[in-house]
Amino acid sequence: MGRKWVYEVKKLEKDIRVFQRLYFIRRLCRGMSVEEVAGLVGVTKATGYAWLKRWNSNGYEGLIPDFGGGRPSKLTEEQKEEL
C-alpha cells in the first residue's frame, strides 16, 4: 500500500495541490505528526493544521482549493467587449 498507493492516487488526481494534501493526510494517518509531515511536504505547520481541519470537516472536498478568482478586473464591461 506504500508506493503503489501514491502512484494510483497520482494517476487519478489531476490537481497536484490536492494530491499533496491527500499525501499529507495519509502520512498523518500513518502516525506522523503535523509538524513532521509539514516539513516533509514543504508547508508551514499552520498550513498543515488548516488542511487537517478542512479534512476533518469536509473530507476529500475540503482539500480542493477554493479560490475566490483572484484580483478583480480593472476593465469595465464595455472595455472587455471592445477587446
- Cα separation values, 83 from 54, 61, 69, 79, Å: 40, 37, 20, 7
Higher-pLDDT residue of 82 and 68 is 82
Residue 24: partners with Cβ closer than 8 Å, 6 or more residues away:
37, 38, 41, 43, 48, 51
- pLDDT over 80 (residue 5): no
| Per-residue model confidence (pLDDT) at position 48 | 97
| Per-residue model confidence (pLDDT) at position 64 | 86
Q: Residue 42 — φ and ψ, nearest 5°?
A: 80, 35
Q: Per-residue pLDDT tens for 27-80? A: 999 999 999 999 999 999 999 999 999 999 999 889 888 876 678 778 888 887
| Per-residue model confidence (pLDDT) at position 69 | 64
What is the DSSP annotation of 23-81? HHHHHHHTT--HHHHHHHHT--HHHHHHHHHHHHHHGGGGGS-----SSPPSS-HHHHH
Domain range summary for the chain, segments of one domain joined by +: 3-60
Mean per-residue pLDDT of the chain: 84
